Amino acid sequence: MAHQQHADDPQHDLLRVCRIGRAQGLRGEVTVQSFTSEPDIRFAPESRLIDDDGNVLTVDSSRTFRNHWILHFAGVNDRDAAEDLNGTVLFTHPDTAEQLAREDAFYPRDLIGLTVIPAAGNSLGLPADMTIGTVVDVSDATAQALLTIRLRKPVDGQRTALVPFVEQIVPDVDTEAGIITIDPPGGLMPGLSADDDNDMDDDDNGTNDSMDDDVATDATNDGEAPESAAITDDAEDTAA
């Protein structure tokens, strides 16, 4: 296993850069699934990337082959060491706050607690002033980050729904207004319809109050999100 240096900073406020895939060849190279819109910069030699445990991997060399990036990290000198890294997600520190704004990137703490509404002209025909629910969790366990939405009214008996955090489904995030806009395709949230809006309004003086308490409890219990699970991608597919 390659010698890895521990980063001094805690694992938070990081941009997700890539996920390491299978070993490539016998000299320690690995393929990576890129999440960045600037791979030439993020994968340049001497770039320092950080894993979930705070270990630092330094890029020794990088190249592309058939539209895939292949990296070699310092100290990873054989296939066995490369295979040990398979599945590792790597992060980097954002350069500046301005960079985050320019890339429309968000941290989990920015998203938890936001009110979810339908996009204007959405594919389900939902009214744009309808409140669907509240973001209560963000997961980075899959290739695409997932938002957990606590629904204002159960849909097909479900109180929560998972929504991929990609631009096609989450076209707008306004943290200042506390609103996240979604355009779910048919089948993603089965049973959700414009009729739910009136039912939700009827619940505003009762059920919804208790639900808001649940959301607050969830946010308190979950904190900002696991420090190592920053879903902020330095990426093109991060929701705008």
Same domain membership, residue 182 and residue 132: yes
Instruction: Convert the pLDDT of each residue in 32-83 to its tens digit.
Output: 998 887 788 889 999 999 998 889 999 999 999 988 899 999 999 999 999 9
Q: How far is 96 from 117, CA to CA, in rounded Å?
A: 30
Same domain, 146 and 97: no
Q: For the residues 211-236, what does the mean pLDDT come to? A: 43
Q: 195 vs 153, 183, 202, 221, CA distance in Å?
A: 11, 17, 12, 32
Q: Report yes or no on 235 lying in a domain.
A: no
Summarize the confidence of residues 4-31 as an average pLDDT: 76
Domain containing 216 equals 108-222
pLDDT above 90 covers a percentage of the chain that reads 38
Whether residue 144 is contained in a domain is answered as yes
Strand pairing category for 29-34 and 48-50: unpaired
Q: Are residue 131 and residue 34 in the same domain, yes or no?
A: no
Q: Tell me the helices (H) and strands (E) count for the chain, helix number first.
A: 6, 13
- 105 versus 198: the higher-pLDDT residue is 105
What's the CATH code of the domain at 64?
Answer: 2.40.30.60
- Give the residue among 108, 102, 110, 223 at the shortest CA–CA distance from 177: 110
- What's the structural domain count of the chain? 2
* Tens of pLDDT, residues 132-169: 999 999 876 565 678 999 999 887 888 999 999 888 89
Kindly state the tokens that stand for 26: 């016998």
Q: Which of 55, 79, 102 is the last residue of a domain?
A: 102
Question: What are 95's two structure tokens?
Answer: 């350069």
Do residue 88 and residue 11 come from a single domain? yes
Residues 136 and 213 reside in one and the same domain: yes
The answer to whether position 234 is within a domain reads: no
**136 lies in the same domain as 96:** no
Q: Are residues 92 and 181 in the same domain?
A: no
Cα angle value 26/27/28 (rounded, 5°)? 100
- Whichever domain contains 159, its CATH number is 2.30.30.240
SS3 category, 118? strand
Q: Considering 68, 102, 136, which residue would you say is the last residue of a domain?
A: 102
Least confident of 34-48, 106-120, 176-190, 192-206: 192-206
CA dihedral 109, 115, 121, 127 (to 10 degrees): 170
| 236 found inside a domain | no
Answer yes or no: are the C-beta atoms of 143 and 151 closer than 8 Å: no
